[in-house]
A and B are shown apart, each in its own frame.
Chain A
């Protein structure tokens, strides 16, 4: 039991980062990016190809992070432009459809060109004993990186001018425009950040288990579940829900069966929507 809970925390930290990237973009611009998982997969693949070209793991991972950021920027400059011109539900619906199309384009290309590739970063080292459970070094390193990322995100949003500017756009787009913040620029920055977060998830995930080129939609769906449970647009909610669902997922996988774990998460998301539509820490609209 302790082992599954610890595994769940490792997974949950990654869920949190995954959902943070989705929820930030939604909270800021009312845009839902269904190609988010594909951005993660492409970043992971580029990391792999860079390593195969002879670069060590750390610089290759940095190349992967840059890839994620660039992909986010490309999305912002291309298919999201017509989305920004719409408002309310029409904006979300158009963003769902266009990013879904983009996701299929990326999936189709990857399945055709790299059908069998998978990123698997092996972190060697003796297992660490935590609470009497031997944790693999990969899991420990991955969790360490994720915790640092979460810390940086909190610092960014709480203590920097940029973070305050972004939060003000989330709260009141018109008001922030009046005090001289350009929501378009903030949106662009957030999409780049979201791409980098997707890349971080792909890279840290690959330290625990291989990330396959077909994983795009499952990553998006996991991110969506965590986002819904945590509350659309809430970053603390994303991390809290990530941890809770990570533990649920891990315990359910080891005691009930891996193939049912997604159904259990779906039910968790459905119950959350019915009982508390705004999510755990979301703001009621």
Chain B
């Protein structure tokens, strides 16, 4: 890691992926390959209702991790309200469709826009000030807790602690295990395509510039604040959409579906494990930790302890992410040049 990147500040999350392929066929090809692999999962676990439920939740988490990656990995804004924004989508869709009689698809779209608006607004408030990165962390954490309080408190609407059954979507293909899984997989692909296209566009260039060196980016004519808000808008839309779709597919939402301790901590670990800023890292992290989480289910509350410890370990020692680090080790075979270290931009 160069001294300049250190001084630049946000280097903490930057520098994982240094070169982004401009080739469209390659982008779509790799997303399709990953989708094809994940599409095989129902063949493996399809006969178990419980396991399909876990797989669907895993895909929802993959979407959350991609959305969080777009916000945190691309622009360094630590959004600590991933669960709450997904909850805006989830509770929004459920309440609009069931209580207000809005058609299902419209309810999902409105709640997605709602989540995007809330996320964008939080980011807009945070970037008002030179210390935007810190304020994003503070104000999103405050929002996460406010949302939990609101859901628990407004129990006539939200069912409080017990949550609510979502009757919208029941009787449709969404509730058939396999079809629900493929809808969720479609959303993962959608999020990846959006993120992939953004990365290779001018916006992606601006994201990398402001992430590597905010001051230099500003001098080069990048409106840093505006791009931060853009990233928050798009990323939050992904969170809201995935949260809303999950509510329709699972047929039930409760505060723990979108809780801070249940979602945010896991998503941070998934992303840090898979590689912050990389395109597929969050999905790989989501797959690994969905499986691990099932194996560790007996630990109960101690799982939270384990995830907390993992956050510390990952950000202290394996900041590039476990998967990129492993990939780097594999690539470093005799005869080939060593993989560039994190933060080293060629040229």
Mark A residues whose CB is within 8 Å of B.
32, 34, 79, 82, 86-90, 92-94, 96-98, 100-109, 111-112, 115, 217-218, 220-221, 224-225, 227-228, 232, 257-260, 262-263, 265-266, 269-270, 273-274, 277, 285
Contacts and interface: CB of A to CB of B under 8 A. Distances in A.
A266 B143 contact: yes
A283 to B, nearest CB: 13
B71 to A, nearest CB: 13
A228 B214 CA distance: 23
Contact of B139 (A218, A220, A273): A273
A97 B6 contact: no
Given A93-B13, A263-B146, A105 B305 contact: yes
Contacts of A257: 153
B135 to A, nearest CB: 6
Interface residues of B, number: 53
Contacts of A221: 141-142, 145
B12 A108 contact: no
A89 B153 contact: no
Given A87-B6, A93-B12, A108-B306, A102 B312 contact: yes
A260 B305 contact: no
B34 interface: no
29 contacts: A32-B138, A82-B316, A89-B131, A90-B9, A90-B12, A92-B133, A93-B134, A94-B315, A97-B268, A97-B311, A97-B315, A98-B311, A102-B312, A103-B308, A104-B265, A104-B311, A105-B312, A107-B305, A108-B305, A108-B308, A112-B300, A217-B145, A218-B145, A220-B141, A224-B138, A225-B142, A259-B154, A273-B126, A273-B135
A257 B260 CA distance: 22
A108 B301 contact: yes
Contacts of B311: 97-98, 100-101, 104
Contacts of A32: 134, 137-138
B7 A87 contact: yes
A6 B8 CA distance: 47
The 5 closest A-B pairs by CB, nearest first: A259-B153, A104-B308, A108-B305, A108-B304, A101-B311
B233 to A, nearest CB: 17
B30 interface: no
B9 A89 contact: yes
Interface in B259-317: 260-261, 265, 268, 300-312, 315-316
> Which label, helix, strand, loop or mixed, suits the secondary structure of the B interface?
helix
Given A90-B9, A102-B312, A96 B150 contact: no
Nearest to B134: A92
Nearest to B121: A270
Contacts of B143: 266
Contact of A262 (B6, B7, B80, B146): B146
B78 interface: yes
Contact of A111 (B125, B146, B304): B304
Contacts of A100: 80, 265, 268, 308, 311
Given A104-B307, A259-B153, A269 B315 contact: no
B75 to A, nearest CB: 12
Given A93-B10, A101-B315, A34 B141 contact: yes
- Which has the most chain B C-beta neighbours within 10 Å: A97, A98, A227, A232? A97
Contacts of A94: 12, 315
